[in-house]
Amino acid sequence: MIYLDNAATTKMYEGGAELYKKYACQSFYNPSAGYGEAIEIKKELDNVRSLIKAKLNSSHGDVIFTGGATESNNLAIMGSRRNGKFEYIFSEGGHPSTYNVAKELERQGFIVHFVKLQENGQVDYSQIESLLNDKTRLISVEHVSNETGAINDILKISKMRSLKAPKALLHVDGVQAFCKIEINIDTLNVDLYSLSAHKFHGPKGVGALYVKNIEPLKSIVFGGGQEDGYRSGTENVPGIMAMGYAIDKADVNDNLQKASKFNKLLKSMLERDEHIHINNIVGSPYIISLWFEGVNGETLMRALSGRGVIVGTGSACSTKKAGNRVLESMGYKKEQIKSHLRISFDEFLTEEEVRKAGEIIVEEYNKLRERVL
């Protein structure tokens, strides 16, 4: 099998799986307990917090462990809301775990603005600038689009915020960026940054929220007061430790070079076919967004699966819904969206596998296209 859907989820590191088992079956203590073994576990969790901050190049701030990016995004957004005539700004390209929270805020009566995307996949910066004012409470954007790989200029947004709405909080969904591209959270001046372990070879069901200043945040989960009261519930120690292993192991620069090489190779193979259209994205080399003229993307995805090549049609969290909000916002037509696929890389791939996948994609596409002509 050649796995090319790493934007949906990644294979867990073997070493991380072994560490998970250790903390599930041997060092299984509750970090909230008062005896020595539990206190040691708490210290080890704090070491993972330090790893996350180091990967973000942060010199300060806090890290709250969560059950994954969906919870991190919910905590960042719902934990920042305040009653009153505040305004909230979101990207049309946001993952469902931000976009649907925004829609819920709107349903509750808050003033919510949605920023459209440019043709290159980035948010419309001029629209963000026009919306910013002294009532702006929160700006929430994705660092890297899970659908297209487009990278938003977070520093540009941060500078606009500082000039026009200095009291507003800036939340960034960093799920497709963390451990994949270089991030300097202090330079970007981001207040809240979400991440999810299973996107960078950690386990599913665990993530974190980086918080620059914990004071403006309010808890949305109540209980025993774990995570300094911001996320009650016994910490997922095995998951957190395995996540820490994945963070420590990730070589951002080396993996980025590999992804760039694979991206360039596959694009060069697919572009030879004039009926295969690669979207013009300013983005991460980990993701290729493309559409296949005259062929349904889901049909092609299933045909490729039969040949041992796994690709995606878009966000794995919204595959059962009609249309594609992100591509629609970028101006793609209905037929282009129906023909869309997403290919995404990881460090376990080889050049031979990518080359083989390219050959199979072209073969299967042309077989299907011949049937519909």
Cα separation of 272 and 284, whole Å?
A: 22
DSSP 309-359: EE-BSS-TTSTTSSS-HHHHHTT--HHHHHTEEEEE--TT--HHHHHHHHH
258 Cβ contact list (under 8 Å, min separation 6) = 345, 347, 349
Task: Provide the 10 A C-beta neighbour count for residue 131.
Answer: 18
Active-site entry in 317, 360, 362, 368: 317
Residue of 172, 221, 217 lying closest to 80 (CA atoms): 217
Residue of 138, 167, 132 lying closest to 79 (CA atoms): 138
- Is residue 317 flagged as an active site residue? yes
Residue of 86, 129, 68, 79 lying closest to 101 (CA atoms): 79
C-beta of residue 104 within 8 angstroms of C-beta of residue 220: no
Q: Which residues are catalytic?
A: 317
